[in-house]
Amino acid sequence: MRVGVLALQGGFIEHIRHLQSLGADTFEIRKCWDLAQPMDGLIIPGGESTTIGKLLNDLDLFDDLKKKIDSGLPVFGTCAGMILLAREIAGTETVYFDSIDIIVKRNAYGRQLGSFFTEAEMTGIGTVPMTFIRAPYIESAGAGVEILSVVNGRIVAAREKNVLVTAFHPELTSDNRVHRYFIENVIRI
């Protein structure tokens, strides 16, 4: 199994380490020619969603990635990755991949000082550590979206078909079970 990790911002190295600990072959996606490599899945890490969106277009990555995701490529977006994959971003008309039927609220927990750590249940996994950094949350989800985790009444993880999203950063903990879930339940479906 080979998983591409978008390496424009965020904790892409940490995602790669988790994937490798599970036996997956990985590669970084930085330029359009990186997309010529075969891949069974894709991770879009955190960072700043507006900046990542601009870089995706400036580096001619956006259209090809959208085609791959729309064609069924399994994708896992964390934090900013979740924002980029959402159907709608609350309070703005900007839309990126439009790959999962959710409305997200950017920076929902406030500024950097609003970052926090907790542990909560995630369907199919159990209790997992969750690191939230200027995190979004899901305001609402369409009928076809499976809600995987709720923290303090807010949706923080969901899945629809080939798309998995989390508002938190599982790559910033030593627990690789969210990445295992992606490999076993999204890539291998």
- Verify whether residue 79 is a known catalytic residue: yes
Q: Which residue of the set 14, 79, 160, 179 is catalytic?
A: 79
Alpha-carbon gap, residue 161 to 180, rounded angstroms? 17
Phi-psi bin for 62: left (phi > 0), alpha (psi -120 to 50), beta? alpha
- Verify whether residue 14 is a known catalytic residue: no
Alpha-carbon gap, residue 136 to 14, rounded angstroms? 20
Q: Which residue of the set 15, 18, 169, 179 is catalytic?
A: 169
- Verify whether residue 32 is a known catalytic residue: no
Q: Which residue of the set 15, 160, 171, 179 is catalytic?
A: 171
Alpha-carbon gap, residue 94 to 105, rounded angstroms? 12
Q: Provide the 8-state DSSP code for 28.
A: E
Which residues are identified as catalytic?
Answer: 79, 169, 171
